[in-house]
Amino acid sequence: MKKRWRIVLIIFLSALGLLGVVMAAVAFYLSPSRLTSLVNRYADQYLEASVTLSGATVHVLRDFPDISVELDNGKILVPAPDSTEKWADTLLVFRKMEVSLRPSALLLRKIFIPRLHLEQAVIHLFTDKQDRSNWDIFPESEDTLSPSYGLSIARLSVSDTLRFTYHDDKDTVYYSVGIKDMTARASFRGGGYNADIQSFSNTLIVGENLLFDRIPFLVRGGITLVNDFDDYYFKDCETVLGKVPLYINGFMGLREDSLELRGICRIDSTGLTDLYDAIPLSLLPREKPFESSLPLKDVVVILNGAYHYQSGKFPVFNARLAAGPGSFLYRPSGIMIPEFQAGIVTSYDPGKGNYGSLEMKGLEVRSPALDLSLDGILSSVFKEPAVRLSAGMEVHLDRLSGLVESIGEDQATGDVSADLEADFRLKDLTLTALGNIMLRGRFLTEGFTLDLPAYNLFCRADTTRALLDINPGTSLDLEVGSDSLQIRYKGRELAVLSGTELKAGSTPDMFTMDSTKVQPLNGSLISRNLRVYVNDSTRIRMDGGNIVFSVKPDSRDQSLPVIGLTLESRSAGAMMGVHRGRISDLQLQADLTRNVRTQRRDTTGLSARRDTFLLRRTRTRHEFSYADLSLDLDREERGLLRRWNVNGTLKAGQIQLATPFIPLNTQVSDAHLVLLNDRLEITNTVIRAGRSDLLLNGYMTDMRRVLLGRGRLGLNFDLQSDTLDCNELIRAISSGMSSMDKQDSLADSTEIPAYQNLLIVPGNVNLQLVLAVSNAYYRHLQMQGLHGMLRAADRYLQLDELQAFSNAGDITIDALYATPDKDSLQVGLNMEMNNVLLEEAVRLIPSLDTLFPMIGSFRGLADIQLSATSRLDTGMNLVLPTLQGACRIKGDGLVLLDGETFSEISRKLMFRKKALNLIDSIRVEATVADNRVDVYPFIMEIDRYRAAIAGSHNMDGTFHYHISLLKSPVPFRFGIDVLGVPEDYKIDLGRARFTDQGIPALSYRIDSIRVNLREHIKKYFENYSFE
């Protein structure tokens, strides 16, 4: 037995000696200088990187049985791959590295490092867009069958700072940390490290979101990093983020489009300011908008989900905190709250039917100026928000300067108190669902004044109260009253009122919780004076006003409201820009109803509507449509017109208007307007504009469709007037149109119509106007008994049987002006004038001088019949080749004045009175066609002569007239031919073509042409209905 132990002892001592000899040989052979040379020489052959060291030392016995290696001033550089756009070549730089290696683990194909220590090191991990990483420095083994070596580190420590950077250019993730000291020991249970990390700077950027910016972060607890630093597991971690102490148990995963978060985070105690500094910058404003000493306690956040950067979708969470008591200063408005405290609980878990809730418990604000208390909850935030709260407030405005820094001590006076209790869903804030709301509120003040120049706000009120009480399914009561109230903001008045009282309430026993129908309401508004300023240029006023209103369900559809309104006012007025109006003794009654559109679901109806829509889209817009009547309503205004019908009555003692569009003193008296089913009737309404007065009766139709850009406006009026000064009205309208053009140019309306010189009849107006005027003035004419009819439709305009007695004679006119398209412009005129002065006729119809050049040489009374039609060009000029007409002029005792042609004739015929000659009688008939005027033979007696005259002249100025002398001092008959142009003509004596018995009677032609032309002028509206 002793011999056996002796053999074992000899073997053990021999092995131990051999091991000592080997270790001594290794230590001797691997001297620091030699080891350094070997590492610098051969490391590049086994790594795809460049390795340099200033010194390397091996310790065989210090950590026996492990071997320790000390490396000094090392650097690992990784060359950039070919064709890479961005790369970080420095993988590792350190001043000192100590590594312990356990050789026995190599027999098990494991690389076990009991201890790794870095001193003053820099690590930069980088992945480019091609998913190539700078830490892949180990070449792939050609032996794919043998298992690879596993790597494990038992203890990792850092001293004298470690700067670590991870940059994934492919997934746009950047993380940088500066660590002062760190110790991480592998857990005996496996799975991560128990770490103690003191980092002084943490920066995290994911995509374009800067989540952390140089925030210090202290960690003590279990941490596991896997999946190329994309996944972080925390177990019982006590951390300090900035100045916020955290307790973390959970997981964080960095994803390309989101930040995955699962676990619990707890803060036992911190400050609001410290917490704000620690929250990711992408979630809050970069500059902190407040100062606060507010403490936060018992802060717990439980997360289970992912925060998506683009959509902003939240993970499932549950959080609570207790804040205060402490002070709070909001910098932008200078509001200082000396004491604030509240408890807040919020959660979100859509899988369990929780779509977001926020609960306030015991919120209290205490200051000399403000006492506020509130308890409430906002639930189902992201689906069907509901509110339940109770709040009370007392404001002492005399002490408001202590609450808001920018308010002086003398800028606010008075006290205000308010209470509120509510329980409702936001979707129930409609007329149909008011019965589901519980809302009680009270606002009281005996008077206050706020004069805040810093906020451009002024408000003054005397005794004012507001009471609201809504009991679900039972009743609604509202009462608001103010002795006086004035509000001014940014130097502009918003409202001024006095003696105003508003009351509203539900109909007894009809206020229910049925949200399928409108809840009936009634109310009234009484105001001694009321001023409302909509904006800088629009204001409305009412004096002695009394408004009664009601809301009830529509009998056709109980879910739609019918709003009734009755307004009486001693005086009301409005101003809109440069336009002003005032109404006295106003009485207005109106009913507003929602349109009910039947939903036809049959396929035939759907197909028909689709075809109509396609036809409308492909229909060519008329070239003159820009001249149609249009108010250019915006989309919102057109939507209101589609949804609502308005019926009502307006009566007013007097309406006064002042506008540059009608620069006349304009008044409307005894106005009576009735609007029913899109038909506006005007009855016995007197309009005075300047010298003119009008009594208007009639109606307008289809206004809604015209305002929506469809349909035609029907206008059917009977207009009576004692005095109508057309000259004054034309000047006013011209001035108004000029003002409108200037306003359009200021509004950047630079579009120039294609036919700006053409007067176009609107295509969406059907007009029938019956006119009866006792005294009318147009140009130089003074007319009595003017009556007739004006019609317009389809871009045609007609004057029908316009008759008047004037200082120039009796006049009857039928006229037509048509602009259906640019190739069919035409004008027509049928006129009869009896006992009219010829010179006045030429002034009224300048074209007469063109048709009959010598008519300007005649003076005296005559009867004129004229009918003509012609095409027009887009400059409103007559297209002479298309001019057709007939004219008859009959006069007795006319005077022929001296003229160049007359002088020549009178000289040759030896007239007794060559300067002035009396014509006993004359009857001239002529037709116009084919660019020529044909004057039919007629008898004229002048001086000692009786002559028959006929001839023609062309539109180019050439003429040829023949005069047969039937009676003269000469004992024989002869004729005279006058031909040429006015500048160059000749007179020839010749044979007489006519005799007393040989003058052809052609009056029937004139009558026939006039009848045809008159029918052409009148026929378009013969069968047209304006109803």
Q: What is the 3-state secondary structure (H, E, C) of 355-423?
A: EEEEEEEEEEEECCCEEEEEEEEEECCCCCCEEEEEEEEEEEHHHHHHCECCCCCCCEEEEEEEEEEEE
Query: Does the pLDDT at position 230 exceed 80?
Result: no
- Of the candidates 578, 598, 496, 586, the residue with the CA atom closest to the CA atom of residue 537: 578
Measured CA to CA in angstroms, residue 607 lies from 36, 612, 614 at distances of: 89, 9, 11
Query: Does the pLDDT at position 854 exceed 80?
Result: no
**Predicted local confidence at residue 826, as pLDDT:** 92
**Predicted local confidence at residue 5, as pLDDT:** 62
- Of the candidates 444, 438, 442, the residue with the CA atom closest to the CA atom of residue 461: 444
CA angle 351, 353, 358 (to 5 degrees): 110
Is residue 853 situated within a structural domain? yes
504 three-state secondary structure: strand
What are the DSSP calls for 585-621, one per residue?
EEEEEEEEEE-------SHHHHHHHHHHHHHHHHSPP
Is residue 41 situated within a structural domain? no
Q: Give me the mean pLDDT over the 906-924 stretch.
A: 65
Q: Cβ distance 864 to 832 under 8 Å?
A: yes
pLDDT, greater one: 618 or 106: 106
CA–CA separation, 433 and 472 (whole Å): 10
CA–CA separation, 916 and 932 (whole Å): 30
Q: Give me the mean pLDDT over the 374-400 stretch.
A: 93
Q: Cβ distance 318 to 261 under 8 Å?
A: no
**Predicted local confidence at residue 18, as pLDDT:** 53
Is residue 978 situated within a structural domain? yes
Look up the domain containing 889 and give its range: 847-1018
Query: Poorest-confidence range of 477-491, 859-873, 991-1005?
Result: 991-1005
Count of CB atoms situated within 10 Å of the CB of 879: 12
- Of the candidates 518, 505, 435, 426, the residue with the CA atom closest to the CA atom of residue 471: 435
Is residue 384 situated within a structural domain? no
Q: Where are the beta strands (DSSP E) in 510-560?
A: 521-535, 538-553
Residues 6+ apart with CB under 8 A from 231: 225, 251, 252, 253, 254
Count of CB atoms situated within 10 Å of the CB of 270: 21
Helix H or strand E segment including 905? helix 900-909
**Predicted local confidence at residue 650, as pLDDT:** 94
Q: Give me the mean pLDDT over the 9-33 stretch.
A: 55
Query: Does the pLDDT at position 146 exceed 70?
Result: no
**pLDDT band for position 464 (cuts 50, 70, 90):** very high
Q: Where are the beta strands (DSSP E) in 255-353?
A: 258-271, 290-292, 295-308, 316-330, 335-349
Q: Give me the mean pLDDT over the 513-536 stretch.
A: 88
Residues 6+ apart with CB under 8 A from 651: 585, 586, 587, 588, 671, 672, 673
Is residue 1006 situated within a structural domain? yes
pLDDT, greater one: 904 or 1013: 1013
Is residue 857 situated within a structural domain? yes
Share of the chain above pLDDT 70, in %: 85
**pLDDT band for position 603 (cuts 50, 70, 90):** very low
CA–CA separation, 610 and 598 (whole Å): 16
Q: Give me the mean pLDDT over the 322-345 stretch.
A: 89
Task: Report the number of secondary-structure helices (H) and strands (E) in the chain.
Answer: 11, 52
Query: Does the pLDDT at position 895 exceed 80?
Result: no
CA–CA separation, 373 and 359 (whole Å): 14
pLDDT, greater one: 21 or 561: 561
Q: Give me the mean pLDDT over the 399-410 stretch.
A: 82
277 three-state secondary structure: helix
Query: Poorest-confidence range of 414-423, 547-556, 597-606?
Result: 597-606
Query: Poorest-confidence range of 14-23, 210-219, 965-974?
Result: 14-23
CA–CA separation, 496 and 533 (whole Å): 9
**Predicted local confidence at residue 223, as pLDDT:** 76
pLDDT, greater one: 25 or 417: 417
CA–CA separation, 668 and 583 (whole Å): 9
Can the peptide bond before residue 65 be classed as cis, meaning omega within 30 degrees of 0? yes
747-770 pLDDT per residue, tens: 544 455 667 778 888 888 899 999
Query: Does the pLDDT at position 389 exceed 90?
Result: yes
860-890 pLDDT per residue, tens: 888 888 888 999 988 888 888 888 888 888 8
175-195 pLDDT per residue, tens: 888 888 888 777 655 556 777
Q: Give me the mean pLDDT over the 659-685 stretch.
A: 90
**Predicted local confidence at residue 334, as pLDDT:** 82
Query: Poorest-confidence range of 37-51, 162-176, 465-479?
Result: 37-51
Is residue 945 situated within a structural domain? yes
Write down the mean pLDDT value for the chain: 82
Q: Give me the mean pLDDT over the 596-611 stretch.
A: 50
**Predicted local confidence at residue 601, as pLDDT:** 42
Count of CB atoms situated within 10 Å of the CB of 259: 21
CA–CA separation, 334 and 565 (whole Å): 45
Residue 12, both tokens: 């053990």
948 three-state secondary structure: strand
Q: Give me the mean pLDDT over the 700-711 stretch.
A: 84
**Predicted local confidence at residue 533, as pLDDT:** 85
**Predicted local confidence at residue 394, as pLDDT:** 94
**Predicted local confidence at residue 600, as pLDDT:** 41
Counting every residue written for the chain, the total comes to 1027
Is residue 938 situated within a structural domain? yes
CA–CA separation, 213 and 174 (whole Å): 11
**pLDDT band for position 604 (cuts 50, 70, 90):** very low
Q: Cβ distance 858 to 825 under 8 Å?
A: no
277-322 pLDDT per residue, tens: 877 666 677 678 888 899 999 999 999 988 887 787 888 999 999 9
- Tally the domains of the chain: 1
Query: Does the pLDDT at position 741 exceed 80?
Result: no
What are the DSSP calls for 743-773, one per residue?
HHHHTT--PPPTTTTS----TTEEEEEEEEE
83-99 pLDDT per residue, tens: 656 676 788 899 998 88
Q: Cβ distance 280 to 209 under 8 Å?
A: yes
